[in-house]
Amino acid sequence: MARQRDVRAQRELLSNATWQVLAEDGLPGLTLRAVAERAGCTTGLVMHAFPTKKALLLHARDLLHERTAARADAAEAACERPSDALAAVLGQAVDLPHGHHEESRVWVGFLAAALADDDLAERHRAANRSFLARVNRLVATCRPEWTDERLECTTKSLVALVEGLNVLAAADPQTYPARLQRAALTAALAPLR
């Protein structure tokens, strides 16, 4: 009798390999061959799960969204006060203080590819809008008296701050150390406390 493949285990192996290649070698290094080498398998097996580089990228972005959303859920659930929840959600999204440097590199690689591909761009927008919705809900809970316009501006400014810090720290961690990231976020959150 033929041995059954463990499809789930293979997909997990390929997911990890895709993530590692993108985080370490960036977008130019993400190839089916590189993922196969990292996973210790054939390119045929990679192509069975992810037939194109675009499929690899979409999978990496989905995995990133799942990881960050789960972490944000946990950060938010651990807080009683809305301002603490907002600080925790944004704080876990900032790169270096929490060791998410690899995630930032994956995010930057995906974003670079999304600039030239409508499907990738749409996946990025969907994940970004999900994060914006979470932050907007938390900002509104902290400041229910604010107008919709002020809530929107504050929300987008906070998200732009943490995402910008992630991108800059991924490329230049010495200039954007954890201390600076925490200080920038603390200053931005002051009006919401």
pLDDT single digits (tens) 149-167: 999 999 999 999 999 998 8
Residues near 154 by beta carbon (within 8 Å), at least 6 away in sequence: 139, 143, 146, 191, 192
pLDDT at 26: 86
The CATH code of the domain that includes 74 is: 1.10.357.10
The beta strands (E) that lie in 74-153 are given as none
Domain CATH code at residue 20:
1.10.10.60
Domain C-terminal end among 14, 35, 51: 51
| Same structural domain, 58 and 46 | no
State pLDDT tens for residues 73-83.
999 999 999 99
82 shares its domain with 166: yes
Q: Is residue 85 domain-shared with residue 176, that is, in the same domain?
A: yes
Same domain, 34 and 71: no
pLDDT tens profile 13-63 = 988 898 899 888 988 898 999 999 999 999 999 998 889 888 888 888 888
Do 87 and 63 lie in one domain? The reply is: yes
Q: What total of structural domains would you count in the chain? A: 2
> Do residue 129 and residue 139 come from a single domain?
yes
Give the model's confidence band at 2: pLDDT under 50 very low, under 70 low, under 90 confident, else very high. very low
Give yes or no: residues 186 and 104 share one domain. Answer: yes
The mean of the pLDDT values for the chain is 89
pLDDT at 8: 80
Residue written as token pair 């600039």:
115
Tell me the C-alpha distance between 16 and 38, whole Å: 9
* Tens-digit pLDDT profile for residues 85-127: 999 999 988 864 556 677 888 888 888 889 999 999 999 999 9
Residue 182 has pLDDT above 50, yes or no: yes
Same domain, 72 and 5: no
User: Is the pLDDT at 11 greater than 70, yes or no?
Assistant: yes
Going by C-alpha positions, the residue among 148, 166, 145, 168 that lies closest to residue 156 is: 148
Note whether 66 and 124 are same-domain residues: yes
For residue 81, give its domain range: 53-192
**Is 127 found in the same domain as 33?**
no
Going by pLDDT thresholds of 50, 70 and 90, the confidence category of residue 5 is low
Q: Hey, is 47 helix, strand or coil?
A: helix
**Per-residue model confidence (pLDDT) at position 133:** 97
pLDDT of residue 4: 53
Residues 116 and 178 in one domain: yes
- Looking at the structure, tell me whether residues 16 and 61 fall in a common domain: no
